[in-house]
Amino acid sequence: MEKPILVVASKQDGDAIAAIRAGFSEKLGRPLDFEIVEDEKITGGFIAIVDGTVYDNSYSSRLHDFGRRISASDDGETPRGSSFATVGAVLKHRVSSVESGSTTYKYGEVVSFADDIIQISGLSGCHYGELLDFGGGAIGLTLDLRLDGVGAALLDGSVSTSSVVHPTGRVAEICVGNELLGRVVDPLGRPLDGRDIRAIKYRPVEAPAPSITQRAPVNAPLETGILTVDSMIPIGRGQRELIIGDRQTGKTSIAVSTIINQVNKGVYCVYCAIGQKASTVSGIVRTLERAGAMENTVVVTAFSSSAAAMQYIAPYAACAVAEEFMYAGRDVVVVYDDLSKHAVAYRSMSLLLRRPSGREAYPGDVFYLHSRLLERAAHLSNDLGGGSITALPIVETMAGDISAYIPTNVISITDGQIYLESELFNSGQRPAVNVGLSVSRVGRSAQHKAMRAVSGSMRLNVAQYRDMAVFAQFGADIDSSTAAMLRSGERLMELLKQPSDTTFSLAEQTAILLAFSAGAFDGFERGDIDDARNGLLRYLSENADKLMRNINATGALSENDRSDLLRHFEQFSPAKGGGDDGGTE
C-alpha cells in the first residue's frame, strides 16, 4: 500500500498534524503514517492524499490551482526544490505506478455558469451521464468530460460560481411500474399533477436496445382506429412508424387517436411531450381523460419552459417507463412529440459546450441521438415474455421539406412514415395523409386478415384519383369511365375523412370498405357520404351486432360473414327500401 501524503503549511505545527493523523486513523479504522510535505502556499489547513483520494481542507480550496502548479512543475516553471515540485514528483510517481485508476477528486467547483451550461473543475472520477448535486435542490447532468474538469447541463434549480459540486454516483433514472398509470410526471419521475407517487422501482433513462436474437418478427397489428392508416399504412406491434408533416397538420391528433383506440385492448401507452406548452399538454391530458384512456397511459413531459437538458432526457425517460411494461410481457405504444424540438434542445446544449457543429449547426452525433432511442422499440421473443414497444415519433417539417437534416435522419431509422400534407389539410381532407409519400415497411404482415381482404386496391384507387383529379382541373375532356372513376374517388376520399375524436373498430372499418367496393354508397351525393357512413354503422350495430363482434374477435372475414354483410348492405340501400332503418338520416 502506498504511503499517504499530508501537505501542510508548516511542519512546525505538530499538534495540528497529530490531530489530522488521529482523525484519519479514526475515519479509516487503521493507523496512518503520513509523509509530511510542507507548502506555505496553501496558507492553512491541509491536503491529504490517501489511497489515491485527495482530501482538500486547505484554506485556499482551489484544486484546479493546485493541479496547474503541479503541471507547471513539469515545464520548469516552478523552481527546483520547491515543495510543489516535490509533491508533483511524488504524485507523478504514484499515478504511473497504479495500474487501474488515477488520483480522483471527490468534489468539484463551479467555474462558470451561463445558459444552463456549467463548467466545473475537479470531479476527475465523474462518469458521463452522471447526476451532480449542486446543493439547494439543484441537479445537473454530466455531458462533457475533460482532464481538468467536466461540463454539465442544469436539469433543475439554480447555481452560482464557486459552488461546491458533489457527484451522486447515479445516472439519470425515473420511477417505473403500474404506479405511474394515469399520472403526469417530468423526466426525473417527479409528479406534475399535484399527487404523490409511491414508486418502488426505478430504471435508468438510458438503456441498451434489445439484440437481434432477443427480437421476434413484427406481425401483430396495432389498431389505430384511423381508417386511412389501418387500411393503407398498417402499423405492427414493435414497429417504429414516423408521423411527419408541417406545423398544424394533425400529427398529434393521429397519435392521440391511436392512444384512445387502445382503451380495453390491453395496450399501455406513454405520451412524451417535448418542448410543448403547459396548456397544450393539459389539453391533451383532458382529452385522454374524457375518453377514459388515462387509466392505461403515462404522460412524461418537459415543457418549453424547462431546461434544455430536461427536454433532452425526456424521450429516454419515457422509453424507460415503456420498457418496464415491455419486459413484463405487455404491449406498449410510445409517442415522442416531437423529436424536432428534441434535436434543437440537444443542439443548443452542444453548441454551448463548444462541440464542433455540422450540417444545420447540429452536432455530428445527432443521428445517434435518435437511433439509440428508436432502436429500443422492439417486439421481444417469447423467451423474454413477448412484450413490445411500438414507437410513434413525430417530426415537424418546414414548408413540406422532408429532405431536411432531422427528417431524413429519422426516416432512415424508422420502419415507415405517415406523411401529412398541408394542402390536403387546408382543403378539408383530415386526416391529411398523403398516401403516395406514406409507407409502412412492415406491410400487410401486420394487418388483420379481414382488413387485407377489403383494402387490397385502396392505395391504387387513391393514387389514381389524385392524379386524375389534378388532370381534370384543367378542364380537359374526359370519357365516361374516367368520370365514373372520379366520382368513385370523391366518395372514397369522403369516407376516409375522420374527426380527430372518432375511432373505428376493425369490424366497422371492414364494413365501410366492403360497402364501398360493393357500391353501397353510389346512391349518395358527395356531401351526404359522412351521414350515410354513420347511418350504415348504426344500422349494423342494431341489426348485425353478433356479426360485428365476431369480426372484431377473430380478426378475419369469412365467406359467410362477407355474404351476411352484403345482404345487410342491400337492406340498408335506399334503392332497396332500407332507408327507413337510418341509412339516409
- Which positions are catalytic? 441
Per-residue cell: 353: 459546450
Q: What is d(CA 145, CA 139) in angstroms, rounded to the nearest whole number?
A: 17
Closest to 13 measured CA to CA, from 51, 55, 56, 42: 42
| Nearest alpha carbon to residue 118 among 68, 82, 157 | 157
Angle in degrees, 0-180, between the axes of helices 366-374 and 308-326, rounded to the nearest 10: 20
Query: 232-253: buried (b, 16+ CB within 10 Å) or exposed (e) per residue?
Result: bbbbbbbbbbbbbbbeebbbbb
CA 426 from chain centre, in angstroms, equals 29
Reference 440, options 460, 457, 419, 425; nearest CA is: 419
Beta strand segments in 368-496, E: 388-396, 416-420, 439-440
- Beta-bridged to residue 270, according to DSSP, are 298, 334
Cell numbers found for residue 155:
436539469
Q: What is the C-alpha end-to-end distance of the chain, expressed in Å?
A: 91
Q: Cβ–Cβ contacts within 10 Å for residue 170, how many?
A: 13
Is the sign of the CA dihedral 8, 9, 13, 16 positive or negative? negative
Residues paired with 151 in a beta bridge: 119, 144
Q: Return the HEC string of 259-326.
A: HHCCCCCCEEEEEEEEEECHHHHHHHHHHHHHCCCHHHEEEEEEECCCCHHHHHHHHHHHHHHHHHHH
Q: Which residues contact 476 (CB under 8 A, 6 or more apart)?
A: none
Q: Which amino acid is at 444?
A: R
> Which cell numbers in the block locate residue 389?
414497444
- Residue 440 forms beta bridges with which residues? 416
- The set of cell numbers assigned to 161 is 460560481
Q: If 0-12 CB within 10 Å is exposed, 13-18 middle and 19+ buried, where does residue 14 land?
A: exposed
Cβ distance 50 to 4 under 8 Å? yes
